[in-house]
Amino acid sequence: MPESRRQVLMTLASAAGALAANPLLLSAQAVQTAPRPFPSPNTRNPNGPQTIGDPEPTVGPDHRLIEKQNQAEIRSEVQKLYELVSELKEQIEKTDATSTLSLSVVKKAQQIEKLAKQIKDRAKS
């Protein structure tokens, strides 16, 4: 009987030891990560620190500045469009209703149409 008690105690002790060592073994395996590849000596790591010989990092365009310039150009084009329309209106008022339109009136209308399309395209972008 003492021999069976001793066996039961040894079995329980070894089971407890195995259970206690299991988390330690699992954490040791989790710490190991995949090996990091060595960078090529001819290329630079873009995430690494900047060194003296590196070119300056490029920064994307400032969208607010571009938008501000775009708005200023639209305003100037609208002002020019207004002037062209006013000139066309004056030319139309000077001509007879029974006569045909002159070539200058047709060209002015084409200029207005082209400028209006440019403004529309700029406003979309």
Nearest-angstrom CA–CA distance, 120 and 26: 65
- CA-based end-to-end distance of the chain: 92
Q: Over the stretch 66-121, which tens digit does the pLDDT of each residue have?
A: 889 989 999 999 999 999 999 999 988 888 777 777 888 889 999 999 999 999 99
Q: Minimum mean pLDDT among 4-8, 20-24, 33-37, 88-92: which range?
A: 20-24
Cα 87 to the center of its chain, rounded Å = 44
pTM of structure: 0.49
Nearest 5°: phi and psi at 31? -70, -35
